[in-house]
Amino acid sequence: MTLPKGFGSGGTGGASSADVERMIGRRVENMVGIITISYWAALMATAAGTAAGYFYYPWAYPTASGHFAFIVLAIIESIGFIFCVKISEEGSNKKSNGIVAGSIGAAIVFVLFVSIFVGW
């Protein structure tokens, strides 16, 4: 990896994790919290977007279609959340399985609640 001027060991060898940390300012292994917050923001934005179809445009977007879209998008967002967390922690000794399991479990309960009780 080619590093900017002032980083690395003067052209010999590759970049160390300390060099990369100095360049970006924060280690990516420590960003599980911001990834989780971003996941929940995306899930709430998806819920708000489908709510517009449920409540403001019910003649154009049938309820079953909105539920299907919400479920599929929540699944896609959940898979992306899992990949982001696991890739950011690859090679480190940090374990965030509890955070991931709790977030995915809460998202499943939220999606089921919306699908069962909203719009019928």
DSSP state for residue 94 in the 8-state scheme: -
pLDDT above 90: residue 4? no
What integer pLDDT is reported at residue 56 of this predicted model? 87
Amino acid sitting at position 4: P
Structure tokens at 91: 């090679």
CB 95 within 8 A of CB 35: no
Residue 7 has pLDDT above 80, yes or no: no
Question: Is the pLDDT confidence value at 59 over 90?
Answer: no
Nearest to 38 by CA among 72, 77, 70: 77
End-to-end CA distance of the chain: 56
List, for residues 78-108, the tens digit of each pLDDT value.
999 999 998 888 777 778 889 999 999 999 9
State the Cα angle at 40 between 36 and 43, rounded to 5°. 140
What percent of the chain clears pLDDT 70, i.e. is strictly above it?
77
